[in-house]
Structure 1
Amino acid sequence: MKQFILLVILLFNADLIYAQKLFPSEYVFRSSIVDSTDSLSSNTNTMRSNVVTEVILQGEKLVWLGTGLGISIIRDSLSIETIQDTMELANGSFTNRIPIGGISAMATGDQGGPYEKFMFAAVAGSENDIPIGKGIVFTTDATDSTINWIYYDQPIDDALSDTIPFGDIGFIAVLPVTVPQANVTYDMDLSEEFAWTASWAGGLRRFKFSDQVWERVPLPMDNQYELTTCKDTSYIRVGGKYILKDYYLNPRDPLDGGNHNHKAFSVLSYSDTIWVGTANGINRGILGSGNCIDWKHYSYPMDNLSGNFVVGLEIQRLNGKRIIWAATVNADDPTEQRGLSYTIDDGLSWNTALLGERIYNIASFDSLVFAASANGLWKTEDGINWALYNPAHQAIPVPNTAIYDLDEVLADEVYSIAFDNRSYYGDRSIWIGTGDGAAHSYDLDGLNWKVFRAEYDIDEDYAYPNPFSPYTHNVLNNNGYVRFHTNEWSGTFVIDIDIYNFAMEKVFATSFDKRNSSSGTLKWDGRDQQGTYVHNGVYFVKLTYPDNQNSKPSPHWVKLIVVK
């Protein structure tokens, strides 16, 4: 048994290194280690991580944020709470906590549907730099003030089960996946009977609501353009079982007899149809009687996808038609490209858009399509002409004053996008998740945003991240930034910033004026007054502002380490 587990880890390791390139570079699954972009506070009335990879809308006003350190919930457009986590959970247990780790996938039922109060969330971590699935939590009362979860270990297989039942007809031959290593759930979706999960090593699986059992689902092998599991003639009697002919479910590398198409990244379901994105294209399945599935398999270059790694899926409903959008990434073939691939005829033909862009997530509403990418948020109304949003910038007027409540997202990459047509948020608004927090815009042009970010210590002055690298931290338009937090009087107009090296020589000075709506946030790009990056070392930052309404501006010192 132990030898088999070790073998599985070694076999997946080569593929795993390549797969990790698909996901946000800042998104590191953590079990107990946080970095300087995350809050060290255990307070549940705040976000604990600024890395937001999932934005899920539910009910009349709930907004769920899947972050690098758990789940946060916005209940009233302003305040945030974070669900408590724990390391002490047993498979099948009822709990009001979730596992410690990053949120790798979330899904809820459709508004007005039978599962509108359901919520599934997958948690992940890492061991020795190998991603590991840390389980799935499920609740039927996600809209209640108190949420009760059922926890399930990361779905795996019995090591001795080399055949498994599927549908009501027969069995399929499989390579058991017996460990959570490299078995991270990257996407989820809910249909009428099932919750569907897409995992790298675990492949496509489904959870039946009626009996709450996880089931492994076969996908076409790499060389199959279709796979039929709903006909008796597809099976052959072997011993006392009817086995699917000429088929082996095996997510190893093809050089080891496996199939890239059995490594799943994304899933989308509606009615009797399911779409699955894998490491070898897109699969369209039609559910038959007994919940068997007949599949069509589309891949590059034959079907005109831009690339074979399919990491996101979205359905657009427009004028009685449906358009399937896919975030497609270049895989093995050097002629593949990053971008979007889409079909208007259920897979008979495919088109591409935004070629060269690394797309993480897609959302749509009527004629609008949004794409969250490494370069920011894109929008189109015709699928052909795309516009790139400016980075999220907050400038909310403070009533009865001359100042603004200022903030900005210091990140190019947008990881997640959600279109919000609920009346509580103004019928037509958008939410985004980034590596520097979440943001909400009440207008579709993104002219003004409300930024949500992890709290640190609201009563202290500090710099973050610290240590700071202008090459890797908070990179926006090719410039990296360190952010400063102050505890100034709320009516302060101006904060002066002076930065000194270890010899107490001034290297940079500026002023931050809260009366100027374009000021953004209190930050520094690591350059001196001449625009040259400062040397590595210790720097002292003097922030000058009044402590209260009756005091004069006074200096407040922060120590900062610059490491390029």
Structure 2
Amino acid sequence: MEGNDQAVWIGPGLNAYGEFTGDIYVPANADSVFNGRGRVFSLEVQGTRILAGLGFTSTRGGSSVNAAQGYYQSNDSGNDWDFITFPLDEKADDSCDAASIGPPCDIEFEYGDTTYIRTRITVPEQSPPYEVDFYDQTILSVNWASGLLRSRDNGENWERIFLPPSNVSNLNPEESYGWVSVTPDDEVINRYDPRFDNNLLGFGLLIDDQQRVWVGTASGINVSENALTAPVDRIEWRHFSWNPESQEGLLSNWVVTIRQQPDTDRIWMTNWITDSENRDEYGIVYTDDEGETFHQFLEGVRANDIGFFDEDIYVAADNGLYISRDDGENWKRIPQISSPNTFIKPDARYFAVTSTEQNLWVGTSDGIASTSDGGENWEILRVDVPLSGGNQYQPDAPNVNSYAYPNPFSPTQHSVVRIKYRMKNPGPATIRIFDFGMNPVKTIRVPTVPSSGSYETAWNGLTESGRIASNGTYFYSIETSNGFTNGKILLLD
């Protein structure tokens, strides 16, 4: 998710939600997403300019694998889109095989005054754009196998930017370097090869307000003062990695998300564990001196994103939303978000955080929530069918008094089934669940609701005695001050 002053842009479908209109926008000419196999892996929004990194699910060796598709860019708030093809190397000569070393099978490149070789990246598999960013006409894209890519002409032409080997702390053109690659005969050679060096596997990306470039990999964080403008063979990097012998620095080596705290020099990043000996930690860190020192927070928490709103810090994590109102000294966890009308499931994962001028927005595995008052009150946006019938994807859906979803419902897969109904007046409600023989299974009493409108109540598939209900058809009855309405649920284990 990414926000601007007009809307919140949301993946994986390249939708936007208008804060002032309440409309969900579906791009008319983004066919690669809406009529094709693509989906949004990354977003960057600045004013009216929107850049989306696209990928798709491919199959290799009988397994599903993420693959790169390209990019969509709009300069008019999403009214028109231009597709940018993902850059890949040309395929090698037919005489090349896995044991081939050097040109024409590998590609030569210059860094400083030294010539090196790198392996070709000729297929889109393992290279979806995990993060994108831009400054003026320069676009950066960080990818797993393809590493860091740069276009200085708004996507017309692309260059591969070379990152330091995992075992060095600086990369500069005055020195010579050795990247590790291994042949099928177990010969170790100097070749730039993401299969054998975790610092070449890109995941996080940020262009900060000083035009420094930050790249997170599976082997730490890389910082460059000149990666936006310098020729490829003159770009310099500083590389910081997790040190198991130190109590300071990064918590672990996999740097997933990188964010700058507004109006400060603080660069925050999420750390995920990678150590085979389990010596590292999940958590978040920040640096305000370009990586010389790091401050550690939320150790043990698998954080997915970091956001800022009204000088507070928000962290979306697997186990809830964390808030700090004192620059990280203390944290409060919100395990579940609810609104007067609906809720986010208790076991939902929290993936994304962004903000607009009006609201903080949080993306979860069970919908999107927004707050304008620091989390005291929430509005929840979910893609469902209104009782009045129809939405963007099902415009011909009929009017109903109630319905249950998902339906069929699996307690193990979905955790809860939501029963949606209308309250014409304030008051209580009672939902009764019956089996196929009309024997009572569960009664759920809803306290008095404050106003009319649509509401949701959840059933977790348990009977009054706490057992999981058997497979079969169940009926529900909703009693309100306006009378009764009924429906049915198909439960499948």
Which residue in the other structure is 2:39 paired with? 102
Asked if the contact 2:45–2:51 (Cα under 8 Å) also holds between the matched residues in 1, the reply is yes
Superposition deviation, residue 562 in structure 1: 3.5
Deviations along 1:178-217, whole A, 9 cap, x unmatched?
Answer: 1122221111122244221121122111222356222221
Superposition deviation, residue 97 in structure 1: 6.6
Residues 536 and 226 of structure 1: CA distance in aligned 2, closer, same or farther (over 3 Å):
farther
User: For 1:341 and 1:83, how far apart are their aligned partners in 2?
Assistant: 37
Deviations along 1:116-162, whole A, 9 cap, x unmatched?
Answer: 3221112233134222223211111126xxx1111123332222373
User: For 2:377 and 2:65, how far apart are their aligned partners in 1?
Assistant: 39
Which residue in the other structure is 1:274 paired with? 213
Residues 332 and 290 of structure 1: CA distance in aligned 2, closer, same or farther (over 3 Å):
same
- Provide the TM-score with structure 2 as the length reference: 0.81
Which residue in the other structure is 1:301 paired with? 243
User: For 2:485 and 2:323, how far apart are their aligned partners in 1?
Assistant: 45
Which residue in the other structure is 1:383 paired with? 328
Asked if the contact 1:66–1:104 (Cα under 8 Å) also holds between the matched residues in 2, the reply is yes
Asked if the contact 1:392–1:448 (Cα under 8 Å) also holds between the matched residues in 2, the reply is no
Give structure 1 stretches of 5+ with no counterpart.
1-54, 90-95, 110-115, 237-245, 253-257, 396-405, 474-479
User: For 2:241 and 2:205, how far apart are their aligned partners in 1?
Assistant: 16
Which residue in the other structure is 2:490 paired with? 560
Matches within 5 A, 1:67-216: 67=12, 69-76=13-20, 78-84=22-28, 99-109=36-46, 116-128=47-59, 129-142=64-77, 147-160=79-92, 162-163=106-107, 173-209=117-153, 212-216=156-160
Give structure 2 stretches of 5+ with no counterpart.
93-103, 179-188, 388-398
Asked if the contact 1:317–1:365 (Cα under 8 Å) also holds between the matched residues in 2, the reply is no
Deviations along 1:330-378, whole A, 9 cap, x unmatched?
Answer: 0033111100122221111223110010100012357532211112111
Which residue in the other structure is 1:463 paired with? 404
The amino acid across from 2:65 in the alignment is I
Residues 75 and 98 of structure 1: CA distance in aligned 2, closer, same or farther (over 3 Å):
farther
Asked if the contact 2:84–2:155 (Cα under 8 Å) also holds between the matched residues in 1, the reply is no
Residues 485 and 223 of structure 1: CA distance in aligned 2, closer, same or farther (over 3 Å):
same
Asked if the contact 1:300–1:308 (Cα under 8 Å) also holds between the matched residues in 2, the reply is yes
User: For 1:105 and 1:343, how far apart are their aligned partners in 2?
Assistant: 24
Superposition deviation, residue 284 in structure 1: 1.0
Superposition deviation, residue 168 in structure 1: 9.7
The amino acid across from 1:148 in the alignment is D
Asked if the contact 2:54–2:70 (Cα under 8 Å) also holds between the matched residues in 1, the reply is yes
User: For 1:124 and 1:71, how far apart are their aligned partners in 2?
Assistant: 16
Which residue in the other structure is 1:260 paired with? 198
- Equivalenced residue count is 443
Which residue in the other structure is 1:284 paired with? 223
Matched, 1:415 2:351: yes
Greater RCO (Cα-Cα under 8 Å, separation 6 or more): 1
Query: What percentage of residue pairs aligned between the two structures are identical?
Result: 24
Superposition deviation, residue 453 in structure 1: 0.9
Asked if the contact 2:146–2:201 (Cα under 8 Å) also holds between the matched residues in 1, the reply is yes
Structure 1 ranges of 4+ moved more than 6 A: 166-171
User: For 1:372 and 1:187, how far apart are their aligned partners in 2?
Assistant: 17
User: For 2:7 and 2:155, how far apart are their aligned partners in 1?
Assistant: 28
Residues 367 and 510 of structure 1: CA distance in aligned 2, closer, same or farther (over 3 Å):
closer
Residues 206 and 438 of structure 1: CA distance in aligned 2, closer, same or farther (over 3 Å):
same
The amino acid across from 1:368 in the alignment is D
Which residue in the other structure is 1:241 paired with? none
Residues 163 and 457 of structure 1: CA distance in aligned 2, closer, same or farther (over 3 Å):
same
SS at match of 1:322: coil
- Provide the TM-score with structure 1 as the length reference: 0.71
SS at match of 2:464: coil
- What do you get for the CA RMSD once the two structures are aligned? 3.0
Which residue in the other structure is 2:360 paired with? 430
The amino acid across from 2:239 in the alignment is H
Asked if the contact 2:30–2:81 (Cα under 8 Å) also holds between the matched residues in 1, the reply is no
